[in-house]
Structure 1
Amino acid sequence: MSAPVVDVWGPVAPGTRSSYPPAPEPHDTWSLAGGTAWVYYSPLNRRQLVRPVILSDGFSSGSSDLDQLWHGLEENGAYRFVSELHATGRDVVVLGYADRTASITANADTAVECIRRAVAERVGGAKLAVGGFSMGGLVTRYALAKMEQDPGLPDHEACLYFSYDTPHQGAWLPVSLQAFTHFATDKWGETPGVGPVLRQFSALLNSPAAKEMARWHIEKVGDAPGQASERVAFLRALDEVGGWPRTVRRIGVANGTDTGTGNGVAAGATAVRCNGPSLQDTWLKTQAQGDQVVARLQKAGEEPVSVHTGGLPDIDGAPGGLFTAPSPAGDPGSFGLAALLMGLLGNTVDPDVISTSCFIPSVSAVAAGVIDDRKVLYRPIGPDHSELDAFVCARRNEGHTTMTEELGAWIVNEVVALG
């Protein structure tokens, strides 16, 4: 599997940077309020900004990492997205944020500033293409819509909006994993070594951006899963600016299939189980329909805690982009992350781990229906279902924001088609 463009959780050790090779030196760097834009001119444009394409980073820990972004865009071994855009005469502006966990509307202000800077720096009158990866698609969606609705803001002068595996209808992270993360943080958050890692993960789950994107969220063990107040407020803000930019062509891609074919993860199965000196008979299950105990959590010497859900679809196995997270063991998945944490706490993890799960359902990535309804999650997606003008889904369910020729070339062709 190629490296994703954005890492959902970022580096495992708090405060560290990713270990990707250095990106090429940008031709220009724009310091923005709340972020940075790295500008790479097309060789065809003689170091002038002529046809700007703005690529927004997504959610992760800390500030945007240009080396990581460049690796996902250019050095992933599947498709050289920036080079292909350059070959068509497009200049690439990589937009990063000082805090990728900040609210989407706050980072949208940075995106607005970047768009305005691109218009001011541009030579000639070519329209912009603006979009992003994962949360970056929501940031730029809101930014463009706000620029159309707010009379105090100038014209964005864009003709194309694109999103890459963006959670337009919400993201999914297993409730069992959320509960285990908070449980472990409560019990061992001050333990040297593992404590900072646990606190980082728990804080990420409870960050403003994560709450705005998660369709089902719990802040602590024992909470009923549902939409956080931050998500309700964001959806209201998005609605107040019209929901979408209206003067552009809207396109998007999904790292999941449009055929209704899931990823093979069985509903209600034990995803990960461990025993050891700190955790006794602790396990997490994949999500099933109906009332379910999705986790049993027990600190050695204490009473077990059961985590319940009800009314949720069997979404772990749904078509969509898969949860990806870096790990020293090379385990890329959501439940694989739980297995990693259990091991860090000194426990023996059963080897039969269901490591990954659906993260961004295909219907969410292409704005083709709510993810609450199992029938919608697993139905084939047709053009009439989507709020986008055009979309493409992957031929298989693959890692969230993985850059592939199948998806990347389609976006490049759409950019070129608009002149």
Structure 2
Amino acid sequence: MAVNPRIDVSTSLATNGTDLTPEELAELAAAISSDILFTTDIGLPGERVPDATWELPGGRASGSAAVYYAHGRTHLEKPFLFADGFNYGPSDLPALFNHFNAPYESGRPGFFDQLQDRGYDIVLIGFDERHTRIQHNADVAVRAIRRAIDERHGDEPLTVGGVSMGGIITRYALARLESEQVDHQTATYLSWDSPHNGAWIPLILQQMAYFFEKLAPAKPGQPSQADLIRSDAAQQLLWAWVPDATYSGDVATASELRTDFVRELADLGDFPRRPRLLGVANGSGDGTGRPLPAGEIAFDWQALVASATARFQPDRGTDQRIGGMHAGLSLRRSTTTEVPALDGVPGGTLDSFGKVADAIKAKISEDYRSGAFVPAVSAAAVVYDPIAWDIDPNLNLRDLLDQSPDRFHLHEVAFDTENTEHSAVSGVLAEWLLDRLS
């Protein structure tokens, strides 16, 4: 009988522990960062002022769009709609523009500048709450698509997509419009390192976010360490998720928000049918991951009244140790069963281990800071069960694409030459897209 991927937590009393005094609690809280964990810095503050700004208010979610007309143009003619991705709080669209327009090669214009040179008008779609449900922010994307159609001069078809979760939001929006028999007038859909089959944040690090936020509470009105992990968007995007630091049970179905969203997408046909479907992955496509030894300790932090140990995810097996944490008398140890070793697989990376280590001032090797966040098999939208994950995440996807293109939902996919940071703009990915969009 198959066993579902799961986590188990044992709680006991530390052998040499004592209850924390108020003074010890205060000292511990002062030593731990209360900043929200696992956010991504998409770019530096942007200096390019948009030519127009669209407010996109609504009932379930609100947002806005920043419009940058093609060079030499003062109106919308060839819309390129690109949605912001997974993070906490409101979008920073000038920073998003700056990120995708930063020169990836000396003496060469940025990706967006080259699109504008080719006549594309760039419409960046942002959200007031990036961490809310995908279906709700898809309402914002639908409003942006309708506005682009209404304001467009001529009948040039739309290009619609996004980075990270933005690619999932626009995928859902286009599929929903088709189900409602609405003409979205989109010829090309594209996703940039979007987790089509789910993203990965190590389970032990998720637990630590919950554990340490109680020791170092956020200031009133500010988000706490685990607010991004517990958000609706995280529950929908992460293949494996835990609701708190003591949860024991299945991890791929821990949240009904994810199972419901996967089922809803399937009911809509999974992907829009009318556009050409393009995707790029920040992960390597040749099956080469990062050298993170499964089951080994990533960092081990010891303080007078607290400790934390994080291991890289072991490769499946039963009751595999992933780490633990303690404060005062409370000691927790965690194991997983049938969870694949996703930290070192090919994929767009996130410095998840580094972020948690920095929050508690733990020493960590530079080589151990980052692991896979969006596995390449997910960004490439390989056809497999997004709940069961019945696939080898170390597949050579370049060979698979050549031999069995029908194993992909996307019509065309490009991979980076190595595993680069999630959403990073490399010459390989930018040039491939510019070639396809030309």
Q: Structures share a fold, TM > 0.5? A: yes
Shift of 1:357: 0.7
Equivalent residue in structure 2 for 1:376, among 364, 384, 392:
392
> Residues 278, 20 of structure 1: CA spacing in aligned structure 2 closer, same or farther, 3 A cutoff?
farther
Equivalent residue in structure 2 for 1:243, among 261, 270, 274:
270
- SS of residue in 1 equivalent to 2:284: coil
1:340 is matched with: 358
Report the RMSD for the aligned CA atoms in angstroms. Answer: 2.1
- Cα pair 1:189 1:196 within 8 Å, conserved: no
Asked whether 1:142 is paired with 2:160, we answer no
2:158 is matched with: 128
Unaligned runs of 5+ in 1: 1-6, 12-17, 324-332
1:328 is matched with: none
Shift of 1:61: 1.2
- Cα pair 2:282 2:348 within 8 Å, conserved: yes
Shift of 1:120: 0.5
Larger % of strand: which?
2
Shift of 1:186: 2.6
Shift of 1:8: 5.7
Shift of 1:267: 0.5
Alignment of 1:17-416 (within 5 A): 20-33=44-57, 34-44=62-72, 46-75=73-102, 77-78=104-105, 80-151=110-181, 154-189=182-217, 200-223=224-247, 224=249, 225-227=251-253, 228-280=255-307, 282-289=308-315, 290=317, 291-299=319-327, 301-323=328-350, 333-343=351-361, 349=363, 354-370=368-384, 376-381=392-397, 382-383=400-401, 384=405, 385-416=407-438
- SS of residue in 2 equivalent to 1:204: coil
Shift of 1:75: 2.3
- Cα pair 1:221 1:307 within 8 Å, conserved: no
Unaligned runs of 5+ in 2: 1-36
- Cα pair 1:320 1:360 within 8 Å, conserved: yes
Cα separation, 2, equivalents of 1:81 and 1:204: 29
* 1:89-130 CA-partner distances (Å, limit 9, x unpaired): 111001101110010000001000000000010000100000
Shift of 1:342: 1.0
- Cα pair 2:104 2:425 within 8 Å, conserved: no
Alignment of 1:1-20 (within 5 A): 9-10=39-40, 20=44
- SS of residue in 2 equivalent to 1:202: coil
> Residues 269, 125 of structure 1: CA spacing in aligned structure 2 closer, same or farther, 3 A cutoff?
same
Cα separation, 1, equivalents of 2:433 and 2:364: 42
- Cα pair 1:256 1:397 within 8 Å, conserved: yes
TM-score (norm 2): 0.83
Shift of 1:277: 3.5
Shift of 1:235: 1.0
> Residues 123, 8 of structure 1: CA spacing in aligned structure 2 closer, same or farther, 3 A cutoff?
farther
- Cα pair 2:187 2:276 within 8 Å, conserved: yes
Return 230-239 or 20-29, whichever deviates more.
20-29
Q: Where does structure 1 differ by over 6 angstroms across 4 or more consecutive aligned residues?
A: none
- SS of residue in 2 equivalent to 1:82: helix
- Cα pair 2:194 2:379 within 8 Å, conserved: yes
Cα separation, 2, equivalents of 1:124 and 1:285: 56
* 1:236-271 CA-partner distances (Å, limit 9, x unpaired): 221222111101100101000111111111101101
- Cα pair 1:270 1:285 within 8 Å, conserved: yes
* 1:314-336 CA-partner distances (Å, limit 9, x unpaired): 1100000001xxxxxxxxx1100
Cα separation, 1, equivalents of 2:377 and 2:364: 33
**Sequence identity of aligned pairs in percent?**
31
The one-letter code matched in structure 2 to 1:337 is K
Cα separation, 1, equivalents of 2:228 and 2:173: 23
The one-letter code matched in structure 1 to 2:148 is A
Q: Which one has the largest radius of gyration?
A: 2
Cα separation, 2, equivalents of 1:175 and 1:261: 23
1:3 is matched with: none
- SS of residue in 2 equivalent to 1:203: coil
* 1:257-302 CA-partner distances (Å, limit 9, x unpaired): 111111111101101111113423x210000121312111011x21
Cα separation, 1, equivalents of 2:298 and 2:172: 36
Cα separation, 2, equivalents of 1:349 and 1:63: 32
